[in-house]
Structure 1
Amino acid sequence: MMFHISEASVADTSTHTAIRFLPEHRAFTLTGQAFSYIFAVDLDDVVLRHLHWGARLGDDDVSLLIYDAPRRIGSNTWSRPRAHTEELVAHGGLRFDECALKVEFSDGVRGLELAYADHEISGNELAVRLCDRHYPLDVVLRYRVYPGALERWMEVVNTGDDAIVLDRSASASWAPPWLATPMATWLPGMYAAETQVTRAPLGVGRLVLESRRGVPGHAAHPWMAVDGGADEEHGEVWSVAVAWSGSWKIVAEHAFDGAVHLTAGRNDFDLRQPLRPGESVVLPATVGVYSDGGYGELTRRWHTHERQHVVPRPRHARPVLYNGWEASFFTVAHDQQTALAKRAADLGAEMFFIDDGWFLRRFDETAGLGDWTADPDKLPGGLAALADEVHARGMAFGVWVEPEAVNPDSDLFRAHPDWIYQWPTRARSLARNTHLLDLGRPAVRSWMFEALDALLRSADIDALKWDINRPMSESGTAGSEPAAIGHVRGLYEVIDRLRAAHPHVMIESCASGGGRADLGMLARTEWAWPSDNTDALERLAIQEGYGFVHSPHTMMCWVTDSPSYLGKRAAPLRFRFHVAMCGILGIGGDLTGWSDEEMAEAAGYVKRYKEIRETVQFGQLYRLASPRRGEFSSLSYVASDGSQVVLFAFAQTVRYCVQTRLVRLRGLQPDAVYENVDTGGRFSAAYLVGHGLRVSLVGDYASELVVLRTVSPT
C-alpha cells in the first residue's frame, strides 16, 4: 500500500539561468535568477581570476571588474596571489592562504602550477579544464547553475604514468566581495541540541567548521554564511553548504585588510588519497546561495532550491506519521503495535512506523543488528501481518533499520568478522555496542542491498527509517580510495539501488537524531529526523536552525508524552502539537496511555494540520521573532499562491502585563484582505504588516495558531 500524498504547487523557475563565455574578455558569466558569478582567464599567465559573486551584473560590467582589482603589492608576507582573487586556490609558490587542492607528485614535488586549457558549456553546466604546466595532471572545475543557487565541484585526473597523492582535496574555493566588518553565521550543536543558530564577528584568521566522524555529525552542520552586517530582512549574505554525508570541512579565512574566502568540501583530516595512473576522482558538490534580502530571503532561497532540485518527490506533501519508539523502546510485540496503530489511525495518522526492537535477539542495543529477520516471538506473523493490519486501518507502513552497523552478537558478524573497519594490531572500538560495516567492499554492498531488498519484499512496506548511531573508526585505505570516501560512496550506491528497485518506498534519514541531514543524504531521502530531543521547548531552537537551510517538508517533528523522554519537562498538549506542526507532523507518544479527552484534542490538531499542511511544507517561511531573542517567538508561512497564511506564536512563560502581542506579518500581497478562518475577522495587508495582528498568550508554555485566508483580491 502507498499512502497517497497530494501534489503541492511549487513554482518552477528553472529557465532563469544562463552561462556565457565572453571571448573579448576571456570571461565566464554564470547568472541565476538573482545572482551573478563571474571569473576570467588572466591574460598574462592564463590562470583563473575570481571577479564577482553577488548581485546580478551585466556583460558591460565585466570589463570594469577585470580592471578594478587593486594593484598594490602589499607586504612580502602576504600570499601571492591573494586567495580571494583566485577561482581555485591550489598549493604552490607563495600561496600561504587556505588552499583547496594540494598534491604530491612521484618525485616529491608538492606545488601546483595550473593553467587554463579549455572549457565546455552544456545547458546549465560549465566545465573548465586546467592543466599543470609540467606534470600530467588535469583539474576540471565544474559548475551547475540553478535559479537561486550555484553548485560547484571539481574532478582531478592523473593523466600520467606515475601515481600521485592527494593531500588536500576540497571541492571549491568561494570568495564574497570585500567586507568591512564580516560576520559569520553557522549551526553548531551537540547530541539532542543540534543546529543552534550562532552568529559572531568573523575575526582575523580562520574559522574552521568540520566533522571528522565519518558522518556530518552533531557538532556543526555542513553550512556557513558570511555577511557584512545583514539582519533578518536586510543586507547581503553569502552562504555555502557541502553536499556530502561523511567527514566535511568549511574554512572561512579573513585577512586583516577585509578580504574573505571560504574553502569547502570533504575533510582532509587523516586523509591521503593515492591516484594511480589513469585514475580520477570526482569531489563532492558544494552549493552557494546568495541573498540581497537578509537571512530571511536567504532561507527562502535555500528552501526553494531544495524543493526544486534536491529532495526526491519534491511536489508531494509528507504524511502525518506515528512512530512507536518512545511508546515501546525494545519491548516490541504484535498486539502492542496493533493497539498503537488503532489509536494512531483514530487520530488521523497516515503512516505508522515500527522502530528498533522488531528483529531477532533485539532486547537491548547489545545484539541483533545485522540480522534483519523479524523475531517470531515478538511478531508471530512477521512484519507482513503487522503491515496488513496497519494498511487495513488506512495507514502506510514503515520500518526502522540501521544497516551500516553490526553487533558482535549477531549471525552476520559471526559469519563475516572481516567485514568491519578494523586494524589487525589494534583493539576494535565499539560505539553503542556496534561496529561499522566496510561499505568500500563490494561484497558488503551486495549483502546490504540484498538484505534490504529481501526485507522490503517480505512485507508490504512503504517506508524505511535509515539510522546510524556511531562514528567511523579504524578505517584505512582499500585500493586507491580511503575508507572514509568509499563508505559514503557505497552508502549512496546502496540507497540509489534500493530506490530504483522499490520506487514507491520513502526513506527517512536519521543519525542519532540530526547527525546526517546534509544535502547529499537529502538528495536520497524524503525527510530527516533533526534531533532525538522531542522536548517541545528545546525543539523551537533546533527547528529554527534546521529551517535556516532546509525546507520544512524535510523536517520530521514529533509530539511525545509529557514529561518529555530526554528533558523531563512537562508541557501542554497544545504547545507540543503547535511546535510539531511547524514541519512534518509526527506523533511519538504512548497513545495507549492518552485519555479520551487528550485523544479528541489531538485529533483536532491533526485535522487542522492537514488543512495547513501544504502551506507549512511548501510555503514561504518568515521568522517573525526568534527563540534566541527571548521567551516569545513567532513564525509564519505564506502559501505559494498567496491564498493562505499560517501564523504560530510561542511563549515559555507569559507575564500578566504582556498577555497579548502584536505580531507584524511579512510576505503578504499588498492590496489583499485576509480573513481569520476561526473568528471571521478581516484585516488589510497594510494593517497586518504596518500595525500587526494581536495574539493572545496566557500562562506557561503558551502557544497560538492563527490561519488566515485571502478574500480579496480573488
Structure 2
Amino acid sequence: MSIVIREKTFTLHTSNSTYMMQVDSFGYLLHLYYGKKAEHAPEYLLVKKDRGFSGNPYDANNDRTYSLDVLPQEFPFDGNGDYRTSSLIIRTKEGIYGCDLRFVKAEIIDNKTKLKGLPSMSENVESLEVTLEDSLLHLEVILSYSVYEDVDIITRSVRIINHGETVTIENIKSANLDFVSGDFDVISFCGRHTMERIPNRQKVNHGIYKISSKRGASSHQYNPALILCDSNANEMSGNAYSMNFVYSGNFEAMIEADQYGQKRMVMGLSPDYFSYPVEHEDIFYAPEVMMSYSSSGLSRLSQNLHQGMRKYLIHDPMVGIKPILINSWEASYFNFNGESIYQLAKAAKSCDIEMVVMDDGWFGQRESDNAALGDWYVNEEKLGESLASLSSRIHDLGLKFGIWFEPECISEDSDLYRKHPDYALKVPHRKYIRAREQLVLDFSRKEVVDAIFKQVCDILDHASIDYIKWDFNRSISDIYSSTTPQGKVTYDYVLGLYSFLERLIKRYPKLLIEGCSGGGGRFDAGMLYYTPQIWLSDNTDAIDRLSIQYGSSFIYPISTFGSHVSAVPNHQTGRITPLDTRGVVAMSGTFGYELDITKCSDEERKVIKEQVATFKSYASLIHEGLYYRLSDPLHDDIGAYAFINEDEALIFAVRIKNQASRYAYFIKIEGLEDDAYYQDEKGQIYDANILKTQGLPLIVEVGDYQSFTIHLTKIKGEKENGKN
C-alpha cells in the first residue's frame, strides 16, 4: 500500500521516500516528515515550548507551549496565530480576513479527483484526500495527495467548497513543506528572454526567498520550480526536494527561514491581481504541484521528474520519436511565398529531414510583426496558392507540414480589432501598454476563446496540417475585462487557454503542438500537458544553449526541449560555431533546423544528412535514457552530459573556452554500472569504476568550440573479451 492511515496519522510511501502528517488533539493537521523511507511516525519532532510572542489557540487554554507559529503544518492558513508564510487567506463579505480549519475526515481513493479545467498528472493512481472545515464559514478545504510510487513523486492540490455565504480567496498555495531542522540551499531557475532557466543556487538564510511571475505567463524571468537541498548536496549525493507547478500563469514560490531557523517551502498562485470570489456551493480548484525527493543528489531528483512527466503527464499524439523538422523563421522571416517554402521542403527532403514548418507571416495582411494578429485566414495572394495546395505539394514529397499561430494576441491593425476592440485586455480611458505592437486577447471570456477557436479550426479543417507552433509573444498588462470580475481575470485567462488547447487536441487528436512564448517564456508542466514539446529559447546560439539546456534539465525531460541547428553567425549573438557542434547541442532535444538549407553548400548538406542519421540512431537513448549532468557550463571550460540506459551510454561534450597548451579534458562519467566494462565504437574498452573516478579523456584539437560524441556499449567483462 502506498497510502496508510493509522488512526489520525497519514503516511504516503513511494519507492524511496515517505511523507507523513498527523491530526493533533485540537484538530489541526501537522506535518511530520518527508524524506528517506521510514515507517514510524516521528511525533518527537513536534517540540512544544513556550516561545514568548508565539500566540496560542483558544482551545489550548493555558498551555503556552502550543503554538502554530512554530509547529510544522500541512496547510497553514491566515488567522491561526502563525505569522509565517500562509497557504490560504480568506476574506469574508464583511471584509474580515482569516479562517479556522479543523480536521473532518481522511479517505483513500483509487484514483484522483479531476481538477476541473486544469492539467494534472494521470488520474489512474492512489490518492489521499484530507478534508478540513471552517464550521463558522461553512467552508470545506480538501487537500489531495496522489502517489506516483515508481517515480518517487507525490502531487498536491487543493479545492475549496463553499457551503456558506460568498467568500473571497486572496491567496492560495497548493503545496507547503515545513522542515524543523536542516542547513539548506535553494536552487531557482531565473533568466530573461533568450537566456532562460539559468540555475541560481544560494544559501537559505533568515527571511523570505521568493520567485514569482505577474506577467500572465510563467515567464522567461522565473520558472515555476524550486529545489531545496542540503548545503553540501551535489549531483550524486545529498538530500534534495523539489516543487514544480503544473500551471502556466501567475505563480509564487517561497522559501522562508523563520525566527528559530525552521524552513518553509510553499508554491501556488500569485496573489498579484488575484482576488477570487467563491459563491455559495461553488468549488475553486487550485492547480497541482509535483513534489519529489531524492536522498542521492540532484541527478536522481531530475530523473524522477523526467520519468514522471514522460509517463504520467505528457500526452504525445505521435508515437515514438517525433519528426525532425526545419522551421522557416530564421531562413526567411516574413519574406517568403508558397514556392520558397516548397523549395525549402525539397532541400530538406534531400537531407532526410521529415517536416517543414511555415512560421509567422502566412495569414491576413501580415508583412511584419505589427499587424494582422487575430485575422486567421490564409493570405493566398502572398503564398501564390491556397494552404491546401501548398500542404498537398509538401506531403507529396513525403514530408509532414506545420504552421505557426499566435492565437492569444491581437494587433490593433487587424480586422478583428476594428470589429471587436473590447476583445483586448485594456483599461478603459487609459493609455495602454503595447508590446511587439500587439495586445492580449481576453481569454477569460468564453466568447473570445470561441471566436479564435473557430478561425483556427477553419484553417485546420481545410488543409492537411500535422503540426502547429503555438506562440505567445508578450506579457499581460492592463488587466481589465469588460465582463469578467477583475480579481478573476488572470486565473480565468489561463483556464480559457487550457480550454482552447483541450478542445483543439480532442478535435485533432493526431496534431502535434509545440508550445512557445518568445521561446521559453512559458516552459512549464502545465503547457507540457497539452504540448509535448516547447521551443526552449529564441536564442539558438549553441554555446548559450548549453547553459539554457543545463538549467532546464534540472526539472524538465530532454525529450520536451525544442532545439534546432541554426545558421552562423548566429542571429542572436553573432557567434560562429562549427556545424558539428551546433548539431551536437541540438541533439539534446527534439532536434531540427532553423536555417535556409537551400543556401547551404553541398558539404554542409552532407553534414546535415549525417547529423539526421546520427540523431535517429541515438534518439531513443536521448529521449528515454537517464540524464546526467557531467559539468557546469556556467563555470566550467566544457559543457558535458550523458544519456545512459542499462546497455549503453552516450556522452556529448562541447569545449566552451579555448586555451593554449590544453591537451585534454577528463570527464567523470556518472551513472555507469559499477564493476562493468564499456566499449566505444573504436573498440577501446573502459572500466566503469575508472571512468567514474578518473574520467574519460577528451583530446583537445585546435579551433573554437570543439565538440565530442562518445557512444559506449556495455560488455560482459574483461576475461570474456580476451583481456586477461
TM over 0.5: yes
Match of 1:208 in 2: 210
Deviation at 1:32, TM superposition (A): 1.1
Compared CA separation, residues 344 and 112, structure 1 to 2 (3 A): same
What is the Cα deviation at residue 501 of structure 1? 0.7
> Partner residue of 1:338?
342
The letter for the 2-side match of 1:90 is F
For the 8 Å contact 2:236–2:296, the answer to whether it is kept is yes
Task: Identify if the C-alpha distance between structure 1 residues 583 and 105 changes in structure 2 by more than 3 Å, giving closer, same or farther.
Answer: same
Does the residue aligned with 1:489 lie in a helix, a strand or coil? helix
One-letter code aligned to 1:70: V
Query: Which residue of the other structure, out of 598, 612, 615, is the alignment partner of 1:606?
Result: 612
Contact map agreement 2:374 2:452 (CA 8 A) in 1:
no
Equivalent runs, 1:293-442 vs 2, <5 Å: 293-313=296-316, 316-442=320-446
User: Given residue 30 of structure 1, which amino acid in structure 2 is its aligned partner?
Assistant: L
- Give the Cα separation in 2 of the matches to 1:144 and 1:294: 23
Instruction: Report the CA distance between 1:646 and its aligned residue.
Output: 0.6
Structure 1 gap segments, 5+ residues each: 1-16
Give the 5 Å matches for 1:639-658: 639=645, 642-658=646-662
Counterparts in 2 of 1:490-569, with a 5 A limit?
Answer: 490-569=496-575
Find the counterpart in structure 2 of residue 8 from structure 1. none
2:12 alignment partner in structure 1 = 30
Most deviating of 271-280 and 242-251? 271-280
C-alpha deviations, 1:388-432, integer Å up to 9, x for none? 222222221111100000111111112211111122222232211
Moved over 4 A (4+): 477-481
* Counterpart for residue 47 of structure 2: 70
1:10 maps to which residue?
A: none
Matched, 1:109 2:96: yes
Letter in 2 for 1:601: V
1:46, 1:407 → 2: CA distance? Answer: 55
CA spacing shift, 1:214–1:106, aligned 2, 3 Å = same
Cα shift at 1:98: 0.6
* Equivalent position of 1:91 in the other structure: 78
Q: Aligned with 1:284: secondary structure?
A: strand
- Aligned-partner residue type, residue 71 of structure 1: K
8 A contact 1:341–1:390 mirrored in 2:
yes
Q: Which moved more, 1:661-670 or 1:132-141?
A: 661-670
Q: Name the aligned partner's letter for residue 199 of structure 2.
A: V
The answer as to whether partners of 1:173 and 1:263 remain within 8 angstroms in 2 is yes
Once the two structures are superposed, what CA deviation does each residue of 1:634-662 show, in whole Å capped at 9, x if it has no partner? Answer: 111013xx222110111123334322222
Contact 2:257-2:264 within 8 A present in 1 as well = yes
Asked if 2 retains the 8 angstrom alpha-carbon contact of 1:149 and 1:287, the reply is: yes
Question: Does the CA contact (< 8 Å) of 1:128 and 1:140 recur in 2?
Answer: yes
Pair 1:588 & 2:594 matched = yes
| Contact 1:476–1:482 (CA under 8 A) maintained in structure 2 | no
Instruction: Verify the 8 A CA contact 1:696 1:704 in the aligned structure 2.
Output: no
SS of aligned partner of 2:273: coil
Structure 2: distance between partners of 1:84 and 1:320: 53
SS at match of 1:116: strand
Cα distance change on mapping 1:392 and 1:697 into 2, 3 Å: farther
Q: How much does 1:711 deviate?
A: 3.3
Tell me the residue number matched to 1:663. Answer: 667
**AA in 1 matched with 2:300:** E
Q: 1:686 to 1:68 in 2, by over 3 A?
A: closer
Greater shift in the superposed pair: 73-82 or 288-297:
73-82
Query: Which letter maps to 2:207?
Result: G
Pair 1:142–1:701, CA change in 2 (3 A)? same
Please say if 1:56 is aligned against 2:59: no
User: Is this contact kept in 1: 2:72–2:180, CA < 8 A?
Assistant: no
Change (3 A) 1:355 1:74: same
C-alpha distance in structure 1 between counterparts of 2:697 and 2:20, whole Å: 47
Shift of 1:199: 0.5
- Tell me what 1:20 maps to: 4
Matched, 1:232 2:232: no
CA distance in 1, matches of 2:456, 2:145: 35
Which residue does the alignment assign to 2:136? 134
- 1:700 corresponds to 2:704: yes
Contact kept in structure 2, 1:239 and 1:288, CA below 8 Å: yes
User: What CA distance in whole angstroms lies between the structure 2 residues aligned with 1:538 and 1:134?
Assistant: 56
Say whether the 8 Å CA contact 1:464–1:508 is kept in structure 2: yes
Residues 375 and 415 of structure 2 are in contact (CA less than 8 Å); yes or no, is this contact kept in structure 1? yes
Secondary structure at 1:528 match in 2: strand
Aligned to 1:47: 28
Alpha-carbon distance between aligned partners in 2 of 1:93 and 1:457, rounded to the nearest angstrom: 56
Question: Aligned to 2:293, what secondary structure does the other structure show?
Answer: strand
Instruction: Decide whether the 8 Å contact of 2:54 with 2:70 is kept in 1.
Output: no
In the TM superposition, what is the alpha-carbon distance from 1:680 to its structure 2 partner? Answer: 2.3
2:553 matches 1:571: no
Q: Deviations over 1:556-598 (max 9, x none)?
A: 1111111000101111111111111122211101112211111
Listed as ranges, the gaps of 5+ residues in structure 2 are 57-66, 111-125
**Is 1:145–1:151's contact at 8 Å kept on the other side of the alignment?**
yes
What is the Cα deviation at residue 709 of structure 1?
2.0
CA apart distance, 1:685: 2.4
CA 325–100 in structure 1, closer or farther in 2 if over 3 Å, else same:
same
- Aligned sequence identity (%): 29
Separation (CA, whole Å) in 2 of partners of 1:83 and 1:128: 22
Read off the aligned partner of 2:373 and give its amino acid letter.
Answer: L
Q: One-letter code of the match for 1:560?
A: S
Task: Please give the secondary structure, in 2, of the residue aligned with 1:170.
Answer: strand
Show CA shifts across 1:290-316 (max 9, x none). 111111111111111111111112963
The residue type equivalent to 2:23 in the other structure is: V
Query: Cα distance 1:410–1:659, how it changes in 2: closer, same or farther (>3 A)?
Result: same
Q: Deviations over 1:196-254 (max 9, x none)?
A: 01111112100010000000111111001111221111100111111111111001101
Relative to the length of structure 2, the TM-score reads 0.92
> Tell me, what secondary structure is at the counterpart of 2:145?
strand
Give the Cα separation in 2 of the matches to 1:599 and 1:479: 54
Q: Secondary structure at the match of 1:628?
A: coil
Question: What amino acid maps onto 1:76 in structure 2?
Answer: F
Question: Does the 8 Å CA contact 1:303/1:550 hold for their aligned counterparts?
Answer: yes
Give the aligned length: 686
Structure 1 CA distance for aligned equivalents of residues 330 and 180 of structure 2: 49
Aligned counterparts of 2:52 and 2:584: Cα–Cα separation in 1: 57
Whether contact under 8 Å (1:556, 1:583) holds in the other structure is yes
CA drift at 1:530 = 1.3
Quote the offset at 1:687 in angstroms. Answer: 3.5
- Per the TM alignment, residue 535 of structure 1 is displaced from its structure 2 partner at its CA by 0.7
